[in-house]
Structure 1
Protein backbone atom coordinates (compact mmCIF):
# COMPACT_ATOMS: atom_id res chain seq x y z
CA UNK A 1 0.00 0.00 0.00
CA UNK A 2 1.21 3.52 -0.81
CA UNK A 3 0.57 6.47 1.50
CA UNK A 4 0.74 9.98 0.00
CA UNK A 5 3.92 11.65 1.22
CA UNK A 6 5.39 8.40 2.56
CA UNK A 7 5.30 5.99 -0.36
CA UNK A 8 5.03 2.26 0.25
CA UNK A 9 4.29 1.08 3.77
CA UNK A 10 4.46 -2.37 5.29
CA UNK A 11 3.08 -4.03 8.39
CA UNK A 12 4.97 -2.79 11.44
CA UNK A 13 6.98 -5.65 12.94
CA UNK A 14 6.10 -4.33 16.41
CA UNK A 15 2.40 -4.74 15.64
CA UNK A 16 1.42 -1.06 15.72
CA UNK A 17 -0.05 -0.77 12.24
CA UNK A 18 1.94 0.30 9.19
CA UNK A 19 5.42 1.74 8.82
CA UNK A 20 7.22 3.54 6.00
CA UNK A 21 10.81 3.39 4.91
CA UNK A 22 12.88 6.19 6.46
CA UNK A 23 11.96 9.61 5.09
CA UNK A 24 13.35 13.09 5.74
CA UNK A 25 11.81 14.47 8.93
CA UNK A 26 13.20 17.98 8.91
CA UNK A 27 11.66 19.01 12.24
CA UNK A 28 13.72 16.24 13.86
CA UNK A 29 16.78 17.01 11.77
CA UNK A 30 17.05 13.38 10.64
CA UNK A 31 15.48 10.63 8.59
CA UNK A 32 13.10 8.23 10.23
CA UNK A 33 10.37 5.77 9.38
CA UNK A 34 6.84 7.03 10.01
CA UNK A 35 4.37 4.73 11.71
CA UNK A 36 0.62 4.82 11.10
CA UNK A 37 -1.52 3.48 13.91
CA UNK A 38 -3.55 0.35 13.16
CA UNK A 39 -6.76 2.38 12.93
CA UNK A 40 -5.60 3.87 9.62
CA UNK A 41 -6.58 0.92 7.46
CA UNK A 42 -10.25 0.97 8.51
CA UNK A 43 -10.61 4.75 8.85
CA UNK A 44 -12.89 6.29 6.20
CA UNK A 45 -11.17 9.67 6.80
CA UNK A 46 -7.77 8.69 5.37
CA UNK A 47 -7.44 12.13 3.76
CA UNK A 48 -7.07 13.63 7.26
CA UNK A 49 -4.19 11.22 7.95
CA UNK A 50 -2.55 12.12 4.62
CA UNK A 51 -2.93 15.85 5.36
CA UNK A 52 -1.34 15.41 8.81
CA UNK A 53 1.58 13.47 7.29
CA UNK A 54 2.15 16.14 4.61
CA UNK A 55 1.93 18.97 7.14
CA UNK A 56 4.26 17.27 9.61
CA UNK A 57 6.87 16.41 6.99
CA UNK A 58 6.79 20.04 5.78
CA UNK A 59 7.83 21.30 9.24
CA UNK A 60 11.47 22.30 9.65
CA UNK A 61 13.79 23.56 12.36
CA UNK A 62 11.65 26.69 12.78
CA UNK A 63 8.83 24.51 14.11
CA UNK A 64 11.29 22.77 16.43
CA UNK A 65 12.49 26.17 17.64
CA UNK A 66 8.87 27.27 18.18
CA UNK A 67 8.23 24.14 20.27
CA UNK A 68 11.19 24.95 22.54
CA UNK A 69 9.05 27.09 24.86
CA UNK A 70 6.63 24.20 25.52
CA UNK A 71 9.51 21.75 26.03
CA UNK A 72 11.22 24.21 28.37
CA UNK A 73 8.00 24.49 30.39
CA UNK A 74 8.00 20.68 30.77
CA UNK A 75 11.65 20.86 31.88
CA UNK A 76 10.81 23.58 34.45
CA UNK A 77 7.89 21.54 35.86
CA UNK A 78 10.16 18.53 36.26
CA UNK A 79 13.03 20.62 37.66
CA UNK A 80 10.74 22.04 40.34
CA UNK A 81 9.90 18.48 41.45
CA UNK A 82 13.52 17.43 42.09
CA UNK A 83 16.06 18.54 44.65
CA UNK A 84 18.11 21.60 43.72
CA UNK A 85 21.37 19.61 43.65
CA UNK A 86 19.82 17.24 41.09
CA UNK A 87 18.70 20.08 38.83
CA UNK A 88 20.02 19.97 35.30
CA UNK A 89 20.86 23.60 34.50
CA UNK A 90 18.96 24.76 31.43
CA UNK A 91 18.62 28.52 31.44
CA UNK A 92 16.36 29.28 28.48
CA UNK A 93 14.06 27.58 25.98
CA UNK A 94 16.58 27.54 23.13
CA UNK A 95 18.91 25.42 25.27
CA UNK A 96 16.53 22.46 25.77
CA UNK A 97 17.37 20.79 22.46
CA UNK A 98 20.96 20.19 23.60
CA UNK A 99 19.44 17.83 26.18
CA UNK A 100 16.96 16.01 23.92
CA UNK A 101 17.81 13.09 21.62
CA UNK A 102 15.47 13.19 18.63
CA UNK A 103 17.66 10.93 16.48
CA UNK A 104 15.85 7.69 17.32
CA UNK A 105 12.33 9.09 17.28
CA UNK A 106 9.72 7.38 15.11
CA UNK A 107 6.83 9.73 14.41
CA UNK A 108 3.51 7.95 14.90
CA UNK A 109 0.36 9.16 13.18
CA UNK A 110 -2.87 8.34 14.97
CA UNK A 111 -6.39 9.48 15.61
CA UNK A 112 -7.35 10.31 19.18
CA UNK A 113 -10.69 8.59 18.91
CA UNK A 114 -13.08 7.56 16.18
CA UNK A 115 -14.24 11.10 15.41
CA UNK A 116 -11.27 13.04 16.79
CA UNK A 117 -8.46 14.84 15.05
CA UNK A 118 -5.35 13.17 13.66
CA UNK A 119 -2.11 13.73 15.56
CA UNK A 120 1.58 13.02 15.06
CA UNK A 121 3.29 11.88 18.25
CA UNK A 122 7.03 11.76 18.84
CA UNK A 123 8.77 10.06 21.72
CA UNK A 124 12.31 11.20 22.56
CA UNK A 125 14.85 10.79 25.31
CA UNK A 126 15.65 13.84 27.42
CA UNK A 127 18.35 14.34 30.03
CA UNK A 128 16.09 15.82 32.70
CA UNK A 129 13.60 12.94 32.69
CA UNK A 130 15.30 9.67 31.70
CA UNK A 131 12.46 7.50 33.00
CA UNK A 132 9.52 9.11 31.18
CA UNK A 133 11.29 10.92 28.35
CA UNK A 134 9.62 13.55 26.21
CA UNK A 135 6.48 13.24 24.13
CA UNK A 136 5.76 15.94 21.57
CA UNK A 137 2.35 15.84 19.93
CA UNK A 138 1.37 17.80 16.82
CA UNK A 139 -2.36 18.14 16.13
CA UNK A 140 -2.96 17.86 12.41
CA UNK A 141 0.79 17.50 12.05
CA UNK A 142 1.46 21.17 12.76
CA UNK A 143 0.28 22.53 16.12
CA UNK A 144 2.10 21.38 19.26
CA UNK A 145 -0.62 20.33 21.68
CA UNK A 146 1.54 18.46 24.17
CA UNK A 147 5.11 18.60 25.42
CA UNK A 148 5.46 16.38 28.43
CA UNK A 149 6.34 12.91 29.68
CA UNK A 150 5.71 10.02 27.36
CA UNK A 151 2.47 8.56 28.67
CA UNK A 152 0.66 7.73 25.44
CA UNK A 153 -1.86 10.54 25.87
CA UNK A 154 -2.19 13.00 23.00
CA UNK A 155 -3.31 16.04 24.96
Structure 2
Protein backbone atom coordinates (compact mmCIF):
# COMPACT_ATOMS: atom_id res chain seq x y z
CA UNK A 1 0.00 0.00 0.00
CA UNK A 2 1.48 3.38 -0.93
CA UNK A 3 1.86 6.29 1.48
CA UNK A 4 -1.34 8.30 1.85
CA UNK A 5 -0.87 11.98 1.02
CA UNK A 6 -4.26 13.31 2.11
CA UNK A 7 -6.39 11.93 4.95
CA UNK A 8 -9.46 11.55 2.72
CA UNK A 9 -7.43 9.24 0.43
CA UNK A 10 -7.68 6.50 3.07
CA UNK A 11 -11.09 5.58 1.61
CA UNK A 12 -9.40 4.41 -1.61
CA UNK A 13 -8.13 1.44 0.44
CA UNK A 14 -11.42 0.54 2.16
CA UNK A 15 -14.00 -1.77 0.62
CA UNK A 16 -17.46 -1.63 2.26
CA UNK A 17 -18.85 -4.93 3.46
CA UNK A 18 -21.95 -5.39 5.56
CA UNK A 19 -23.93 -3.16 7.89
CA UNK A 20 -25.23 -4.69 11.11
CA UNK A 21 -27.56 -2.92 13.55
CA UNK A 22 -27.33 -4.26 17.08
CA UNK A 23 -29.59 -3.27 19.98
CA UNK A 24 -27.91 -3.26 23.37
CA UNK A 25 -28.45 -1.23 26.55
CA UNK A 26 -31.40 0.63 24.96
CA UNK A 27 -29.14 1.94 22.20
CA UNK A 28 -28.75 1.21 18.51
CA UNK A 29 -25.20 0.34 17.43
CA UNK A 30 -24.67 0.57 13.68
CA UNK A 31 -21.65 -1.53 12.74
CA UNK A 32 -19.99 -1.03 9.37
CA UNK A 33 -17.86 -4.05 8.56
CA UNK A 34 -15.29 -3.40 5.83
CA UNK A 35 -12.28 -4.91 4.15
CA UNK A 36 -9.17 -2.76 3.98
CA UNK A 37 -5.79 -3.04 2.30
CA UNK A 38 -3.70 -2.57 5.46
CA UNK A 39 -5.49 -5.20 7.61
CA UNK A 40 -6.41 -8.01 5.25
CA UNK A 41 -6.95 -10.62 7.97
CA UNK A 42 -9.31 -8.70 10.28
CA UNK A 43 -10.64 -5.85 8.18
CA UNK A 44 -12.07 -2.64 9.59
CA UNK A 45 -14.95 -2.02 11.99
CA UNK A 46 -16.64 1.37 12.33
CA UNK A 47 -19.37 1.69 14.98
CA UNK A 48 -21.91 4.50 15.14
CA UNK A 49 -23.92 4.80 18.38
CA UNK A 50 -27.58 5.81 17.98
CA UNK A 51 -26.81 6.95 14.44
CA UNK A 52 -25.02 10.11 15.58
CA UNK A 53 -21.72 9.38 17.30
CA UNK A 54 -18.66 7.37 16.30
CA UNK A 55 -17.63 5.18 19.22
CA UNK A 56 -15.25 2.69 17.64
CA UNK A 57 -12.84 2.48 14.71
CA UNK A 58 -10.65 -0.61 14.83
CA UNK A 59 -9.76 -3.91 13.29
CA UNK A 60 -12.91 -6.02 13.14
CA UNK A 61 -13.45 -7.85 16.45
CA UNK A 62 -17.25 -8.10 16.62
CA UNK A 63 -17.60 -5.80 19.66
CA UNK A 64 -19.39 -2.43 19.65
CA UNK A 65 -16.97 -0.71 22.05
CA UNK A 66 -13.48 -1.25 23.45
CA UNK A 67 -14.96 -1.69 26.93
CA UNK A 68 -17.13 -4.51 25.62
CA UNK A 69 -14.23 -6.08 23.71
CA UNK A 70 -11.87 -6.14 26.68
CA UNK A 71 -14.41 -6.44 29.54
CA UNK A 72 -13.16 -3.10 30.87
CA UNK A 73 -16.07 -0.66 31.29
CA UNK A 74 -13.67 2.19 32.12
CA UNK A 75 -12.62 2.22 28.47
CA UNK A 76 -16.13 3.41 27.61
CA UNK A 77 -16.44 6.11 30.30
CA UNK A 78 -15.75 8.84 27.74
CA UNK A 79 -19.05 8.02 25.97
CA UNK A 80 -21.06 9.56 28.86
CA UNK A 81 -19.61 13.00 28.07
CA UNK A 82 -21.23 14.36 24.88
CA UNK A 83 -18.30 16.75 24.36
CA UNK A 84 -15.66 14.00 24.25
CA UNK A 85 -14.55 12.43 21.00
CA UNK A 86 -13.43 8.91 20.24
CA UNK A 87 -10.04 8.45 21.95
CA UNK A 88 -7.06 6.98 20.15
CA UNK A 89 -5.42 4.37 22.38
CA UNK A 90 -2.48 2.04 22.10
CA UNK A 91 -2.86 -1.61 23.02
CA UNK A 92 -0.56 -0.93 26.01
CA UNK A 93 -3.00 1.74 27.25
CA UNK A 94 -5.92 -0.64 26.87
CA UNK A 95 -4.10 -3.37 28.80
CA UNK A 96 -3.15 -0.90 31.55
CA UNK A 97 -6.77 0.15 32.11
CA UNK A 98 -8.16 -1.40 35.32
CA UNK A 99 -10.87 -4.04 35.13
CA UNK A 100 -11.46 -7.18 33.15
CA UNK A 101 -8.91 -9.84 32.31
| Common fold: TM-score over 0.5 | yes
CA shift, 1:88, in A, is 4.2
2:22 is paired with a residue whose SS is: strand
Highest Rg: 1 or 2?
Answer: 1
Greater relative contact order (Cα < 8 A, sep 6+): 1
TM-score under structure 2 length normalisation? 0.57
Runs of 4+ in 1 over 6 A off after TM superposition: none
Mapped to 2, the partners of 1:154 and 1:118 lie a distance apart of: 10
Q: Does 1:108 align with 2:17?
A: no
RMSD value, Cα: 1.6
Q: Does 1:98 align with 2:8?
A: no
Q: Can you give the 5+ residue segments of structure 2 that lack an aligned partner in the other structure?
A: 66-101
Q: Does 1:117 align with 2:31?
A: no
Give the number of the structure whose residues are more often helix, by fraction. Answer: 1
Mapped to 2, the partners of 1:96 and 1:90 lie a distance apart of: 7
CA shift, 1:122, in A, is 1.0
Q: After superposition, where does 1:71-86 map in structure 2 within 5 Å?
A: none
In 2, are the aligned partners of 1:88 and 1:128 still within 8 Å (CA)? no
TM-score under structure 1 length normalisation? 0.39
Mapped to 2, the partners of 1:133 and 1:125 lie a distance apart of: 4
